[in-house]
Chain A
Amino acid sequence: MATLELRKVHKSYGSGLADTLKNIELKIDSGEFLILVGPSGCGKSTLMNCIAGLESISGGEILVEGADISGMSPKDRDIAMVFQSYALYPTMSVRDNIAFGLKMRKMAPEAIDEEVARVARLLQIEHLLKRKPGQLSGGQQQRVAMGRALARRPKIYLFDEPLSNLDAKLRVEMRTEIKLMHQRLKTTTVYVTHDQIEAMTLGDKVAVMKEGIIQQFGTPQQIYNDPANLFVASFIGSPPMNFIPVKLEPAGNQLFAPLCSGEKAELSCALPLAAMAEGVEGREVILGVRPEQIQTTAGTPGLVPIAAEVEIIEPTGPDTLVFVTLNQTKVCCRMSPDDAPRVGQVIELQLDPEKIMLFDANSGERLRPLSATTAQSASNVTRLRSL
């Protein structure tokens, strides 16, 4: 159990090459579960290897419990890691796999036996101890890999995409189990994934990365409700957020985002927005709205309805996804299966001006209302002055 802090961590594989990690700043408290999430090649695994000491950093500091460990060798850092490929030692039995790290640390044989028994009980792998990794199923190997990390009782656990080699059903089960394990043991954990559902469900804190830069660092709710830019907004959420290009038009002290469905003028509507930062009038911006934030008119009274023709419906079971076109962009709305319209039907949709977000079309940066341009927290979204 320890705090982990990264200060200005920088990694480059040589001059002339693009930096793999740029100015990474992170801080998590003891017992917190940090998720590093991002598309492949974003540097999240490199960052994890740097924390483990398997790769050196080019600059900055890695602090565990306030002490800089960036110059130490991996074995002195007291960090355990679960690998994507499990990396179980193929010639050793499950028992020896779990005991290997303890033997290397010159623990007494009786203490090793005790520790192996404790971990085996915890992970329910007692019956597998004598087997070789090759005789185990994927899920069992996964458990042994976790057992190997647990046995050492390290200060920090690192998980490198541990569930990506499992089938879908087992992945959900193990996800719950990892969460349960963390709730019970309360060990500081860093978990790398490219799966945004794992990121949302497991993390206390989430760092969304792209091209070696942390795009946003916050709680899962902050990341989901108040994304810092277009990339974060598009990466987190399934089905993803809708992005509709609009040209903002001023009218009085309000801004309007005209939306139209198809070519027909009668199926169009202007969505009144709060006053935004100077100079957005007349500009092309991206309007972002999550599928569940689009309601049919049966929803809140007083919101401006937009008429649109249903093009495709996708029933997923709990929800039905309804696709319409707004401003030549396909827009997904999540509806209850009972309220789902038919294909070809014209429905009236409502976008809550308090929930929608605006992004700069070029930089992808979030455009915030005047009153809150510098603020970052989720509560500020509500400061958008609505109608």
Chain B
Amino acid sequence: MIKQNKLSFSRLAIYATLLAACAVYLVPLIVMLLTSFKTPEDIRSGNLLSWPDVITAIGWVKAWDSLGGFFWNSVKITVPAVLISTLLGALNGYVLAMWRFKGSQLFFGLLLFGCFLPFQVVLLPASFTLGKLGLANTTSGLVLVHLVYGIAFTTLFFRNYYVSVPDALVRAARLDGAGFFTIFGRILLPMSVPIIMVCLIWQFTQIWNDFLFGVVFASGDTQPITVALNNLVNTSTGTKEYNVDMAAAMIAGLPTLVVYVLAGKYFLRGLTAGAVKG
């Protein structure tokens, strides 16, 4: 029932700006998609934005041939690292918010330093530790590094979420006879869906997209897809197959996109349905 449907100048300006911003983000994606379905000859002869003469999936097939193994490497690194760091973060946050102990504030403060440590700073100590543990150049080693690095963030997320949960809930459950882990598993975790989703998105994006840890702590067959993509694109031998490069980049980026779309939906649902009345 909006009567004022006239496009005023300011409204037009807003739409124009928004469209321009969309284009800035979408044009590279369109170029990538179009290029990935072109033949190498087509790419050399046509311009970037032209429609492919023949739509061919050869680029995708070749990209998968060379990247498929590394894709599964990344899955094997990311899934355990994301799940374990989220779970540990939830447990840490639960303790720091609900079971304060002497020095827990200081502990939390020190843990927060972990959020501000640049990757580069931990490279040497981490590789030394991995070497000592016998985990150098293994998938498990990479999982461990991501896990440890991620705990600071996941703890921060969960602790701040649980701080707003009334602690009368925990006291009521204790009187009802529930123990430490029962309270965590039966009462707090079920009401943490929104923050779990935030954590999953954050950690998945961080770990899947990581390049530095991957290139330093893995080699050969254990490399994650980001490193493999770099090796593929930066190869200096033979002719450049841009369609393969583009398809490979899309394959490497797709999982994060999927997680955003799927978990983002859950995330919103969790926010609106979790109406907790204090």
Binding site for B on A (CB under 8 A): 49, 52-54, 73-75, 79-81, 83-87, 89-92, 100-101, 104-105, 133-134, 141, 148, 152
Q: Which residues of B contact A52 (CB under 8 A)?
A: 171, 175
| Interface core residue of B172, B177, B178, B179 (most chain A CB under 10 Å) | B172
Q: Give bound CA distance, A101 to B175, whole Å.
A: 8
Q: Which residues of B contact A148 (CB under 8 A)?
A: 172, 176
Q: B166 near A85 (CB under 8 angstroms)?
A: yes
Cross-interface CB contact of A90 among B177, B179, B186, B277, cutoff 8 Å:
B277
Contact with A along B171-191 (1 / 0, CB 8 A): 111111111001000110011
Q: Give bound CA distance, A162 to B187, whole Å.
A: 22
Other A-B contacts than A75-B177, A84-B168, A85-B278, 7 sampled, CB-CB below 8 A, are A52-B171, A54-B171, A89-B169, A89-B187, A100-B176, A100-B178, A133-B277
Cross-interface CB contact of B177 among A86, A105, A141, cutoff 8 Å:
A105
Q: A87 near B187 (CB under 8 angstroms)?
A: no
Q: Which 7 A-B pairs have the closest CB atoms?
A: A104-B177, A101-B176, A87-B168, A91-B190, A75-B177, A87-B172, A83-B168
Q: How far apart are B267's CB and chain A's nearest CB, in angstroms?
A: 17
* Interface assignment of B106: CB less than 8 Å from any CB of chain A: no
Given A91-B187, A104-B178, is A141 in contact with B169 using a C-beta cutoff of 8 Å?
no
Q: Give bound CA distance, A73 to B176, whole Å.
A: 11
**Interface pairs (24), CB distance under 8 Å:** A49-B171, A53-B175, A54-B174, A54-B175, A73-B174, A74-B171, A74-B174, A74-B175, A81-B171, A83-B172, A85-B278, A87-B169, A87-B171, A89-B172, A89-B173, A90-B274, A90-B276, A90-B277, A91-B191, A101-B176, A104-B177, A134-B275, A134-B277, A152-B176
| Interface core residue of B174, B176, B177 (most chain A CB under 10 Å) | B176
Cross-interface CB contact of B171 among A83, A104, A105, A152, cutoff 8 Å:
A83
Size bracket, chain B contacts: 20 to 34
Q: Which residues of A contact B178 (CB under 8 A)?
A: 75, 100, 104
User: Restricting to B250-278, which residues have a CB under 8 Å from any CB of A?
Assistant: 274-278
Given A85-B168, A90-B191, is A141 in contact with B277 using a C-beta cutoff of 8 Å?
yes
Number of A-B contacts (CB under 8 A): 70
Q: Which residues of A contact B278 (CB under 8 A)?
A: 85
Q: How far apart are A16's CB and chain B's nearest CB, in angstroms?
A: 15
Q: Name the residue of chain B whose CB is nearest to the CB of A105.
A: B177
Contact with A along B92-109 (1 / 0, CB 8 A): 000000000000000000
Q: How far apart are B200's CB and chain A's nearest CB, in angstroms?
A: 19
Q: Which residues of B contact A74 (CB under 8 A)?
A: 171, 174-175
Q: Name the residue of chain B whose CB is nearest to the CB of A54.
A: B171
Q: A79 near B175 (CB under 8 angstroms)?
A: yes
Q: Which residues of A contact B276 (CB under 8 A)?
A: 90, 134
Q: Which residues of A contact B174 (CB under 8 A)?
A: 54, 73-75
Q: How far apart are A166's CB and chain B's nearest CB, in angstroms?
A: 13
Q: How far apart are B102's CB and chain A's nearest CB, in angstroms?
A: 10
User: Restricting to B143-198, which residues have a CB under 8 Å from any CB of A?
Assistant: 166, 168-169, 171-179, 182, 186-187, 190-191
Q: Name the residue of chain B whose CB is nearest to the CB of A160.
A: B168
Cross-interface CB contact of B173 among A80, A90, A100, cutoff 8 Å:
A100
Q: Give bound CA distance, A84 to B182, whole Å.
A: 23
Q: Which residues of A contact B182 (CB under 8 A)?
A: 104
Q: Give bound CA distance, A53 to B176, whole Å.
A: 12
Given A83-B168, A90-B274, is A75 in contact with B176 using a C-beta cutoff of 8 Å?
yes
Q: Which residues of A contact B171 (CB under 8 A)?
A: 49, 52, 54, 74, 81, 83, 87
Q: Give bound CA distance, A80 to B187, whole Å.
A: 18
Q: Which residues of A contact B274 (CB under 8 A)?
A: 90
Q: Which residues of A contact B275 (CB under 8 A)?
A: 90, 134
Contact with A along B197-236 (1 / 0, CB 8 A): 0000000000000000000000000000000000000000
Q: Which residues of B contact A92 (CB under 8 A)?
A: 187, 190
Q: Name the residue of chain A whose CB is nearest to the CB of B278.
A: A85
Q: Which residues of B contact A80 (CB under 8 A)?
A: 175
Q: Which residues of B contact A100 (CB under 8 A)?
A: 173, 176, 178, 186
